Amino acid sequence: MAMSHVLPQNWIVTDGRASVGGVDLAALAERFGTPVFVIDVAHVRQRLTAFSDAVGSLGPPAYAAKAFLCIAMAELVSEADWWIDVVSVGEAEAAERGGIASDRIMLHGNLKTAQELELVLSGRVGRLVIDSLDELARLDRLASERGVDVDVLIRLNEDVDLATHPKVLTSGQEAKFGLVGDQAAEAAALLAGSERLRWRGVHLHVGSQAADPELFAIVLERLVDFVERHRAAFSGDEVILDIGGGMAAPYLRDDPVLHPADLGARLHMAATSLRIEERIGPFRLIIEPGRAVIANAGVTLYEVGVRKPLPSGGELVAVDGGMTDNPRPALYGSRYEVLAVTRMDDPHDHPVRLFGRMCETDVLAESIGIPEDLSVGDIVAFAATGAYTYSMSSRYNLLRRPPVIFVEDGVARQVVRRESIDDLFSGDSGLTGAEVWQYDPTGSNRAEGY
Ligand code: LLP
C-alpha cells in the first residue's frame, strides 16, 4: 500500500518541503510552536461525505467523539448531518457547542455517572445506550421519579472474532462492555415492562481496527437476530441497529485500508440478504466510525531537540513532545510513519530510535529511518495522529497540551490554543486558597457536580 493512504489527502511536497491544506508545515511549526496537532479539514469533510454516501439511505452515521473532539470538529460533524456518540458531559458539551441537536447525540459508556444520566433525563442527549442491568434499573427509577420518557438502546456483548490489541477489544468473554445473552434478554423483558424507558434499538461495538467489511455484516446479523427474538418489546416503528465503530485506518504504509464504499456496499447487501425489513420492520442502521474519519487527517509536528549515540550502539533522536501528546506507543506499542517535513526528497533511511521528552524511557518510534543529516531544530511529522492523541493527551510533567490547527485552502485556524501556564493552575489553589471541608457526621456530605 502507498504512503499516500497514511497521509492527509492534501499533503503536498514541493521542493522537498511538505505542506498540508496549502500551509507549509515547517512555517506552521514556526508560527504556532511545537508540538502541534495539524488537521487537514478538507480530508475530514471528504471522509464524512464518503461514509455518508456509503451508507446512504441506511444512515446517517454517528461520529465517535472519543477519537478526537473539539468544538470545531463537532461543527464539521454537524455540517455533515451526522449523529455523534459521546461518553461524558464534556463530550456532550462540545457536541452541543458545535451545534449538534440533542436527538442526534447518543450516550455510551460502561459506567455512567449521575451527571451523565442527567444528560438524558434533562433531554440534552436524545438516546442512551444501556450497558448493564444495574444501569437499566437506575435509569428506570430516575425516569419514573422525574416523570420523563427516555429513549434507550441495549448494548450487546457477543463474541465476534477480531484480532486486535486486547486493550481495545470491547466485545467477547473478557470485555467489560454490554450485556451477554441472558442478561440482554432480561433487559429486553424489563424494557417491555418499563413505563418510562422506550426501547429504540440495539448496539454492538466489537473493537478497533477492523479492515474487513465482512465483520460488520456479521455484527449486523447478530443485531437483527436479537431484535427479531424480542421485537414485541420495542417502542416505536423504527428500530436502530447500531453496529458500532472500529473501522480500520492505516498507520503504516503497508497497513490494510477499509474503503467506506466497500463497507457501504457490504452493508446494503447484508440488509437485503438478511431480509431485515421483512423480519423486524423499519430500521435505521448506524455506523460509529471515529478513527477512520480523523486519524489520517492529522499529523503531529515536533522539533528535533537532541541527536546522540545510544550507549547500546545506534543513535537516538529526541523530539519536544512524547507520551503526553501521544500515549499510544507507550500504551499499545503503536507505530507511526515519521517524515522530515523540510527534507522530504532526502532518503529516510538512517536508522534511529526516537524518544520523547518525558522523564522516563518514552520511546515514540522504536526503529525508524530519518534523513542522514536531520539536525537539531528540524521539524518532523508523525503521520496518522488525528485519532486518540489529542483526546488522550495529558499534563504529565506539567506540560501544557498542544494547540490544534485546522488547515484548509492555505489558511491555518488555531481552533484550540496551546494551554497556558495559567491554564495549568486554574484549579490548583495552593494550601491557603484551598476549599476547606469539615466532615459533619450529622449533615449531608454529598458533593454537587461530579
Ligand atoms: N463506538 C464505540 C461504542 C466505541 O467504544 C468506540 C471506540 C468507537 C465507536 C470508535 O471506534 P473507532 O472507529 O475510533 O475505532 N484508545 C484506543 C481506542 C479505543 C477505542 C474504544 N472505543 C486507541 O488509541 O487505539
Query: Which among 359, 421, 436, 447 is annotated as catalytic?
Result: 359
Print burial letters for 153-191: b (CB count within 10 Å at least 16), e (below 16).
Answer: bbbbbbebebebeeeebbbbeebebbbeeebbbebbebb
Kindly list the structural domains of the chain, giving each domain's residue range(s) and its CATH number in brackets, ordered by start.
Answer: 3-39+295-424 (2.40.37.10), 62-288 (3.20.20.10)
Q: Is the pLDDT of residue 169 over 60?
A: no
Contact in structure between 117 and 133 (CB atoms under 8 Å):
no
Is the CB of 244 inside a 6 Å radius of any atom of ligand 1? Answer: yes
Task: Please confirm whether the linkage preceding 441 is cis (ω < 30° from 0).
Answer: no
213-262 confidence digits (pLDDT tens): 999 999 999 999 999 999 888 888 899 999 999 999 999 999 999 999 99
Question: What's the 135 CA to ligand 1 centre distance in angstroms?
Answer: 21
Q: Is the pLDDT of residue 1 over 60?
A: no
In ligand 1, the atom with minimum distance to the C-alpha of 85 is 1
> Taking every pair of C-alpha atoms in the chain, what is the biggest distance, in angstroms?
74
Distance of alpha carbon 56 from alpha carbon 59, whole angstroms: 6
pLDDT tier at 341, thresholds 50, 70, 90: very high
Is the Cα torsion angle 138, 141, 145, 148 positive or negative in sign? positive
Distance of alpha carbon 207 from alpha carbon 221, whole angstroms: 17
Q: Is the pLDDT of residue 166 over 60?
A: no
Classify 350 as helix, strand or coil.
Answer: strand
Distance of alpha carbon 257 from alpha carbon 245, whole angstroms: 15
166 vs 268: which has the higher pLDDT: 268
Classify residue 166 by its DSSP letter: G
Question: What's the 373 CA to ligand 1 centre distance in angstroms?
Answer: 38
Is the CB of 205 inside a 6 Å radius of any atom of ligand 1? Answer: yes
pLDDT tier at 282, thresholds 50, 70, 90: very high
Q: So what's the pLDDT on residue 22? A: 98
Classify 201 as helix, strand or coil.
Answer: strand
98-154 confidence digits (pLDDT tens): 999 999 999 999 999 999 999 999 999 999 999 999 999 999 999 999 999 999 999
Q: Is 359 considered catalytic here?
A: yes
Question: What's the 256 CA to ligand 1 centre distance in angstroms?
Answer: 18
**CA proximity to 176, closest of 138, 135, 142:** 135
pLDDT tier at 162, thresholds 50, 70, 90: low
Ligand 1 pocket test, pick from 66, 108, 156 with the greatest ligand atom count within 8 Å of Cβ, gives 66
The pLDDT of 174-193, averaged and rounded, is 91
Question: What's the 171 CA to ligand 1 centre distance in angstroms?
Answer: 12
The pLDDT of 293-308, averaged and rounded, is 98
Is the CB of 64 inside a 6 Å radius of any atom of ligand 1? Answer: yes
Is the CB of 178 inside a 6 Å radius of any atom of ligand 1? Answer: no
Is the CB of 208 inside a 6 Å radius of any atom of ligand 1? Answer: yes
In this prediction, what percent of the chain has a pLDDT beyond 70? Answer: 96
428-449 confidence digits (pLDDT tens): 999 999 999 888 888 777 776 6
Question: Which single residue is written with the C-alpha cell 504504509?
Answer: 253
Is the CB of 8 inside a 6 Å radius of any atom of ligand 1? Answer: no
Is the CB of 247 inside a 6 Å radius of any atom of ligand 1? Answer: yes
Q: Which are the contacts of 305, defined by CB distance < 8 A and separation ≥ 6?
A: 318, 319, 320, 357, 376
φ/ψ of 309, rounded to 5, equals: -70, 150
Question: What's the 67 CA to ligand 1 centre distance in angstroms?
Answer: 7
Question: What's the 289 CA to ligand 1 centre distance in angstroms?
Answer: 8
Q: So what's the pLDDT on residue 441? A: 84
Question: Which single residue is written with the C-alpha cell 437476530?
Answer: 225
AA letter at 113:
T
The pLDDT of 350-367, averaged and rounded, is 93
Q: Reduce the secondary structure of 60-118 to three states and give it as a string.
A: CCEEEHHHCCCHHHHHHHHHCCCEEEECCHHHHHHHHHCCCCHHHEEECCCCCCHHHHH
Distance of alpha carbon 445 from alpha carbon 440, whole angstroms: 7
Tell me the HSE value of 118 on the side-chain side, using a 13 A CA sphere.
Answer: 9
Is the CB of 388 inside a 6 Å radius of any atom of ligand 1? Answer: yes
What average pLDDT does the structure give for the chain? 95
> Whose C-alpha lies nearest to ligand 1, atom 24?
388
The counts of H helices and E strands in the chain are 14, 20
